[in-house]
Amino acid sequence: MINYALTSTPIGKLLLVKSNNGLSHIIFEQKIKQFESTTMRDFPDIKISNDFNSLSSEIKQLTEYFTGKRKNFNIQLDLKLPPFYQKVINKVKEIPYGKYQTYQDIASKAGNSKAYRAAGSANARNPIPIIIPCHRVLAKGGKLGGYGGGIKIKKYLLNLEGIQ
């Protein structure tokens, strides 16, 4: 079973998707339309349900984050990524609130300091932004780099956490 729910945030609507194993996706507003058709195609035999109650804890924690009351999340995740991407995402999860690291820092911590572009690609495929704080990963010299939700949202999240 896959449950999903839409919630409004200061950065726009977010679609949260949860499997039986945990939160599997947070989808930015501009990409929501793709969700149902892609999910139905990829999982034709799985029941898909719009169920706000099943995601109430995750939505509450996101609301607390956006109001400055939460710096860490306590959410069960369901990640399915290639092995190096999984290592990168696990290192990104360790970046503390209000801090940032570079793509090269993350690549090095994931076991290959020269794979900073692959670390960038892993961040681009991060299925659970905000909870897995890929917005805290910057290019060398503090440049923003890219972000799945757009640079405006990345700047907002960094500012929210006090990162200038």
- Strands of the 2-9 sheet, one edge to the other: 22-28, 12-19, 2-9, 48-50
Q: Residue 87 and residue 54: Cα distance in Å, rounded?
A: 29
Q: Residue 80 and residue 159: Cα distance in Å, rounded?
A: 30
- Which residues are catalytic, by number? 134
Q: What is the DSSP string of 41-67?
A: HH-TTS-EEE-GGGGHHHHHHHHHHHT
Give the rounded distance of the alpha carbon of 132 from its chain centre: 5
Cα separations in angstroms, 150 against 28, 61, 78, 128: 9, 22, 24, 15
